[in-house]
Structure 1
Amino acid sequence: MENPVTSTIVVIGNFDGVHRGHRSVLQEACRGVDLPLVVVTFWPHPVSVLRPELAPKLLTDLRSRIELLKQAGAHEVRVIQFNRDVAALSPGEFVERFLMPLHPARIVVGQNFRFGHRAAGDVRTLAELGEGRFEVCAMPLQAIDDEVTCSTGIRELLEQGDVAEAARHLGRPFEYRGVVVVGDQRGRELGFPTANLSVPGDLAVPADGVYAGWVTRLDEPGAEPMAAAISVGTNPTFDGADHRVESYVIDRTDLELYGVEIAVDFVDRLRGQVKFDGVEALIEQMSADVAAAKLRLGVA
Structure 2
Amino acid sequence: MELFAGVGAVPAGFGPSAVTIGKFDGVHVGHRGILAQLASLAAARGLAPVVVTFDRHPMALFKPEACPVALASNAERAALLAEAGVAATLELEFTRALSELSPEEFVDQVLVAALDARLVLAGRDFRFGHRGAGTIDTLRELGESRGFEVGLLEDVDIDGSRVSSTRIREHLAAGRVREAAELLGRYPSVRSTVVHGDAIGREIGFPTANLDPAMEGFLPADGVYASWATIDGRRYAAAVSIGDNPTFAGIPARRTEAHLLDADVDAYDKPIELEFVEFIRPMIAFDGIESLTRALADDVVAIRAILSAEPAPGG
TM-score using structure 2 length: 0.88
Aligned equivalent of 1:39: 51
Does the 8 A contact of 2:17 with 2:119 survive in 1?
A: yes
Given residue 290 of structure 2, which amino acid in structure 1 is its aligned partner?
E
Superposed, 1:258-277 pairs within 5 Å as: 258-277=268-287
Aligned equivalent of 1:115: 128
Superposed, 1:125-204 pairs within 5 Å as: 125-132=138-145, 133-200=147-214, 203-204=217-218
Does the 8 A contact of 1:56 with 1:202 survive in 2?
A: no
Aligned equivalent of 1:294: 304
Aligned equivalent of 2:74: 62
Aligned equivalent of 1:248: 259
Aligned equivalent of 1:23: 32
Q: After TM superposition, give the deviation of residue 38 of structure 1 in Å.
A: 1.5
Aligned equivalent of 1:237: 247
| Cα deviations by residue, 1:23-49 (Å, 9 ceiling, x for unpaired) | 111110121333221111111111111
TM-score using structure 1 length: 0.92
Distance 2:207 2:240 in 1: 11
Does the 8 A contact of 1:160 with 1:206 survive in 2?
A: yes
Distance 2:143 2:110 in 1: 13
Distance 1:172 1:40 in 2: 23
Q: After TM superposition, give the deviation of residue 65 of structure 1 in Å.
A: 0.7
Distance 2:178 2:138 in 1: 38
| Cα deviations by residue, 1:194-240 (Å, 9 ceiling, x for unpaired) | 112133488421100001011112x33xx3x2111111112232243
Helix, strand or coil for the counterpart of 1:168? helix
2:292 corresponds to 1:278? no
2:20 corresponds to 1:11? yes
In structure 1, list runs of 5 or more residues that go unmatched. Answer: none
Does the 8 A contact of 1:213 with 1:266 survive in 2?
A: yes
Does the 8 A contact of 1:57 with 1:201 survive in 2?
A: no
Does the 8 A contact of 2:194 with 2:210 survive in 1?
A: yes
Aligned equivalent of 2:60: 48
2:115 equivalent among 102, 112, 119: 102
| Cα deviations by residue, 1:233-273 (Å, 9 ceiling, x for unpaired) | 12232243343321111122x21111211211101100111
How many residues align? The count is: 292
Helix, strand or coil for the counterpart of 1:56? coil
Does the 8 A contact of 1:215 with 1:264 survive in 2?
A: yes
Distance 2:60 2:216 in 1: 10
Distance 2:252 2:135 in 1: 45
Does the 8 A contact of 1:196 with 1:244 survive in 2?
A: yes
| CA distance 1:5–1:279, change in 2 (3 Å) | closer
Does the 8 A contact of 2:192 with 2:215 survive in 1?
A: no
Helix, strand or coil for the counterpart of 1:251? coil
Helix, strand or coil for the counterpart of 1:131? helix
Aligned equivalent of 2:7: none
Deviates more, 1:22-31 or 1:154-163: 22-31
Runs of 4+ in structure 1 displaced over 6 angstroms?
A: none
Given residue 94 of structure 1, which amino acid in structure 2 is its aligned partner?
F
2:90 equivalent among 54, 78, 85: 78
Q: After TM superposition, give the deviation of residue 276 of structure 1 in Å.
A: 2.0
Aligned equivalent of 1:228: 238
Given residue 162 of structure 1, which amino acid in structure 2 is its aligned partner?
R
Distance 1:212 1:4 in 2: 49
Q: After TM superposition, give the deviation of residue 110 of structure 1 in Å.
A: 3.0
Deviates more, 1:17-26 or 1:194-203: 194-203
Does the 8 A contact of 2:72 with 2:216 survive in 1?
A: no
